[in-house]
């Protein structure tokens, strides 16, 4: 039996992505109906839709239940940067879980980017998917040795990376940094279009959706059958439940996972009129500082920049209260690219979750059979959602992929942090 779930404000401000789709497809609520499925996914964001898509396409009769609108949660606050490199460097992860496990995890992230490329290609009209390289810059001289160590480990294990010196950076950008790793094979995407596109593709493969359906209780009977009940009295009976509920509810997950919730800030500019020749191959840019600043260009010549995370979960409400943070982001952008002066068009603050050991929470509930989690905490949330959907599908089929123990909810690395 689960606790009553909270409905949290996940973001405040004006989001850009919903403006990029004219009209999204909507799905009916469950209402007071009683239905039966093999699997039910709770949550219609990036994680839930990908999970539902993978399960339905694998012949598992599945429903996705969303208390609001599809892609209306943290997914719509996402900045669409898709990288195999994680907030936690592979070399740091190796110290934590061993080098072979760290390499396996990074390789899985790389495969997830490839899976995104594959899925994006299936969506009519496109999802602004574009291959990009990233510049992962040392924020200070002190961070240089650890970044260099990271480069050497990535290179040794066959990841497509380069090392750039300050003069190389200076020759390609209007700024320099003490050093940088260039990672190839990353990507950018419009997460909102992607989730809606995948939802439509999944619906065509038999996935059922219930929007505006709030699951308020979860009972398990002696034979392992799960019954989910909605606030309107409808119910869904199934053998497998997948929680893809994002950064809520704490009541449930607080008992299972060790995570911290912060708030982050992002802005999108108006389309820039200045030339992008100063921005080498439109690399996506981030850095070693924690919290880090990240920025990328967009299809219509806008720039999105985010960061300045604060250790408070609730997003800052009111444009005036966010002003200092948004001004600071804008200033950091124009310091790096003095010609990029198009004004701010959209700005928001959003809750952002991170696990204590830098890894997502994916897999079986350690205590409840037939219950799974796809909680992609961390800056690579989309990559984790892509990783989770196939892992969970394999687990439902009775398999235990090697990666499972690294991201499991009861993994040893969580007890040592």
Ligand X SMILES: Cc1cc2nc3c(=O)[nH]c(=O)nc-3n(C[C@H](O)[C@H](O)[C@H](O)COP(=O)(O)OP(=O)(O)OC[C@H]3O[C@@H](n4cnc5c(N)ncnc54)[C@H](O)[C@@H]3O)c2cc1C
Q: Which residue is nearest to ligand X (CB)?
A: 381
Looking only at residues 264 through 283 of this chain, which bind ligand X when binding is defined by CB under 6 A?
A: 264, 266
Q: Which residues, 6+ apart, have CB-to-CB distance to 106 below 8 Å?
A: 84, 85, 86, 90, 93, 154, 157, 159
Compute the half-sphere exposure of residue 34: CA atoms within 13 Å on the CB side of its CA. Answer: 4
Contact indicator for 384, 376 with CB cutoff of 8 Å: yes
* CB 191 to ligand X: min, Å: 7
**Token pair 């921005």 is at which residue?**
279
Query: Rounded to 5 degrees, what are φ and ψ at 207?
Result: -75, 135
* Binding flag, residue 187, ligand X (CB under 6 A): no
* CB 144 to ligand X: min, Å: 25
**Of the ranges 76-84, 139-147, 159-167, 176-184, which one interacts with ligand X (CB under 6 A)?**
76-84
* CB 113 to ligand X: min, Å: 10
Q: Of these, 382, 387, 391, 393, which contacts ligand X (CB under 6 A)? A: 382
Count of residues interacting with ligand X (CB under 6 A): 41
Q: 187: part of which helix (H) or strand (E)? A: strand 180-188
* Binding flag, residue 208, ligand X (CB under 6 A): no
* Binding flag, residue 285, ligand X (CB under 6 A): no
* Binding flag, residue 5, ligand X (CB under 6 A): yes
By residue count, the chain amounts to 417
Q: Which of 324, 264, 332, 323 is nearest to 303 (CA)?
A: 332
Cα dist from 60 to 72, 134, 167, 213, 328, whole Å:
25, 37, 54, 21, 48
* CB 285 to ligand X: min, Å: 12
Q: 241: part of which helix (H) or strand (E)? A: strand 240-243
What distance in Å separates the CA atoms of residue 135 and residue 183, rounded to the nearest whole number?
7
Q: Which CB sits closer to ligand X, 179 or 269?
A: 269
What distance in Å separates the CA atoms of residue 10 and residue 321, rounded to the nearest whole number?
16
Q: Which CB sits closer to ligand X, 179 or 238?
A: 238
Q: Of these, 41, 53, 62, 66, which contacts ligand X (CB under 6 A)? A: 66
Q: Which CB sits closer to ligand X, 75 or 272?
A: 75
Looking only at residues 30 through 49 of this chain, which bind ligand X when binding is defined by CB under 6 A?
A: 42-48
Q: Which CB sits closer to ligand X, 179 or 207?
A: 207
**Of the ranges 30-38, 72-80, 317-325, 334-342, which one interacts with ligand X (CB under 6 A)?**
72-80
- Range 274-293 burial, b when 16+ CB lie within 10 A, else e: eeeeebbebbbbbbbeebbb
Q: What is the three-class DSSP state of 11? A: strand
x-or-dash pattern for ligand X, window 304-323, by CB under 6 A? Answer: --x-----------------
- Range 105-136 burial, b when 16+ CB lie within 10 A, else e: bbbbbbbbbebbbebbeebeeebbbbebbbbb
Written as six digits, the tokens of 358 are 């830098």
Strand runs labelled E in 335-401: 344-355, 361-364, 371-375
* CB 22 to ligand X: min, Å: 21
* Binding flag, residue 259, ligand X (CB under 6 A): no
Q: Which CB sits closer to ligand X, 179 or 211?
A: 211
x-or-dash pattern for ligand X, window 348-377, by CB under 6 A? Answer: --x-x-----------------------x-
x-or-dash pattern for ligand X, window 88-127, by CB under 6 A? Answer: ----------------------------------------
Q: Of these, 90, 383, 406, 408, which contacts ligand X (CB under 6 A)? A: 383
Q: What angle do CA 36, 42, 44 make, to 5 degrees?
A: 115
* Binding flag, residue 244, ligand X (CB under 6 A): yes
Q: Which CB sits closer to ligand X, 67 or 130?
A: 67
Radius of gyration from C-alpha coordinates of the chain: 21
Q: Which residues bind ligand X (CB under 6 A)?
A: 5, 10, 42-48, 65-68, 72-75, 77-82, 214-215, 244-246, 248, 264, 266, 306, 350, 352, 376, 379-383, 385
């Amino acid at each position: 039996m689960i606790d009553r779930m909270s409905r949290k404000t996940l973001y405040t401000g004006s989001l850009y992505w919903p403006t990029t789709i004219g009209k999204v497809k909507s799905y009916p609520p469950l209402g007071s109906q009683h239905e039966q499925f093999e699997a039910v996914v709770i949550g219609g964001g990036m994680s839930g839709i990908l999970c539902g898509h993978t399960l339905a396409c694998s012949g598992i009769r599945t429903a996705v239940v969303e208390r609001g609108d599809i892609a209306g949660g943290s997914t719509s606050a996402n900045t669409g940067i898709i990288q195999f490199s994680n907030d936690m460097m592979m070399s740091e992860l190796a110290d934590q879980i061993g080098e072979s496990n760290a390499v396996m995890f990074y390789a899985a992230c790389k495969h997830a980017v490839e899976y995104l490329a594959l899925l994006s290609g299936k969506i009519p009209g496109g999802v602004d998917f574009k291959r990009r390289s990233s510049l992962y810059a040392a924020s200070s001289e002190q961070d240089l040795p650890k970044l260099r160590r990271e480069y050497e480990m990535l290179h040794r294990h066959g990841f497509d990376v380069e090392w750039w010196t300050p003069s190389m950076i200076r020759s390609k950008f209007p700024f320099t940094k003490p050093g940088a790793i260039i990672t190839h094979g990353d990507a950018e995407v419009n997460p909102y279009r992607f989730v809606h596109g995948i939802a439509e593709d999944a619906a065509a493969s038999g996935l059922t959706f219930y929007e505006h359906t709030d699951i308020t209780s979860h009972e398990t009977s002696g034979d392992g059958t799960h019954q989910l009940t909605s606030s309107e009295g409808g119910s869904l009976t199934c053998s497998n439940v997948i929680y893809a509920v994002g950064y809520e509810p704490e009541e449930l997950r607080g008992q299972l996972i060790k995570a911290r919730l912060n708030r982050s800030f992002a802005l999108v500019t108006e389309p820039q009129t200045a030339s992008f020749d100063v921005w080498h191959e439109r690399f996506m840019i981030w850095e070693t500082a924690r919290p880090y600043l990240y920025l990328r260009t967009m299809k219509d010549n806008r720039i999105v920049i985010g960061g300045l995370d604060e250790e408070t979960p609730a997003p800052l409400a009111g444009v005036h209260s966010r002003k200092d943070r948004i001004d600071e982001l804008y200033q950091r952008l124009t310091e790096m690219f003095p010609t990029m002066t198009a004004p701010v068009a959209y700005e928001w603050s959003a809750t952002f979750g991170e696990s204590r050991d830098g890894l997502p929470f994916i897999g079986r509930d350690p205590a409840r059979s037939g219950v799974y989690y796809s909680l992609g905490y961390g800056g690579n949330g989309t990559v984790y959602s892509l990783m989770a959907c196939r892992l969970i599908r394999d687990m439902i089929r009775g398999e235990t992929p090697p990666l499972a123990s690294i991201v499991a909810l009861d993994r040893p690395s969580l007890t040592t942090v």
